[in-house]
Amino acid sequence: MIERLQEDTRSLREENQRLRDDVVLARVEGRNQQQFNLQLKEEIENGSQNTVHLEGNKEDISSPRRRPMPVSSISSKRRDFRICWC
C-alpha cells in the first residue's frame, strides 16, 4: 500500500514537471511570436521594400479579387518578398 502511494506520488510529480515544462515552453514560444509580430508590424509601417501586404485569409487566395499581383508586376528589380497575411 505504501509502495503504491509512493509510486503514485512519483508519477504525479513527474507529470507536474512535464506540465510545468510545457507552460515554460509555451511562454517562450509566445514571446518569440510577439517579437516576430512586432518586427513585422514595424516593417509594414515603415514601408519595408520586401513586404507585400495582402488582405484576407490564406484560403481566399484563389479568389480573383484576392489574388496577389505577380512578383514581376510589383518590382522588376527585387524578387525576395515576404508575404504578410494580416
The residues with which 54 forms a beta bridge, in sequence order, are: 85
Asked if residue 28 has pLDDT above 70, the reply is: yes
Q: What is the mean pLDDT of the chain?
A: 72
Residue 55 has a pLDDT of 58
Q: What is the pLDDT of residues 42-76, one digit of tens each?
A: 877 776 555 555 555 555 455 555 555 555 444 44
CA distance 35 to 41: 10
Strands (E), the chain: 51-54, 82-85
Put simply, whether the predicted model's pTM sits higher than 0.85 gets the answer: no
Sign of CA dihedral 36, 33, 52, 54: negative
Cell reading at 80 = 525576395
Beta carbons of 54 and 83 less than 8 angstroms apart: yes
Domain-wise residue ranges, the chain: 1-48, 49-86
CA distance 78 to 22: 41
DSSP 40: H
